[in-house]
Amino acid sequence: MERPVTERDLKDLQYMNCVLKESGRIYSTVPVLGRNIPEDTKICGYTMPKDATCCILTYLLHRDEEIFPDPEKFDPDRFSAENRVNIPEFAYIPFSGGARNCIGYMFAEIEIGVIICSILRNFTVESLNKVSPVMGVTLHSSEPIRINIRERVVQEVLT
């Protein structure tokens, strides 16, 4: 295929979308979200006072075994059409959620999909090392990620 990957193509790539969502679950861009509580609020029997800061650890939220069994396993099928209905609202929030979610999340999802599809269409990518996530303001790898990239050889089919 010579033409560039488009947003329309992404709609047809159901499994690729599942892979990208599972990647966002395991490696959330922002592993901790902070919010101020606007009024006294009870959470799990504890009173959180007005103006307190509440931290949402998406890194842990996305590893809740009740929602995501075997949470350290990379399993894109969690996000298939038949399985995604079992994921409660706000249990998966790689770009935050609600009224204060990331304004650019839809653009980011499209851009990530187009770039990954474009790379995989033209190259094979192989990991050369195993890295662990390190939590900071953003989630990053414990050491540089080393990969081997080879151009795909397209063979013409003779008819």
Tell me the C-alpha distance between 118 and 5, whole Å.
6
Q: What is the pLDDT of residue 124?
A: 94
Tell me if residue 53 falls in helix, strand or coil. Answer: strand
DSSP 77: G
Give the ranges where the chain is alpha helix by DSSP (H).
7-12, 14-26, 58-61, 81-84, 105-122
Give residue 157's pLDDT.
56
State mean pLDDT over 31-52: 92
The residue that leads in pLDDT, 78 or 132, is 78
End-to-end CA distance of the chain: 18
> pLDDT by residue (tens digit) across 100-119?
888 999 999 999 999 999 99
- Helices 14-26 and 105-122: crossing angle in degrees, nearest 10, is 110
Each residue's pLDDT tens digit, 3-26: 888 888 888 999 999 999 999 999
Q: Which of 80, 82, 73, 78 is nearest to 91 (CA)?
A: 78
Q: Which residue's structure tokens are 């939220």?
A: 61
What distance in Å separates the CA atoms of residue 2 and residue 101, rounded to the nearest whole number? Answer: 36
**Is 102 labelled as part of a ligand binding site?**
yes
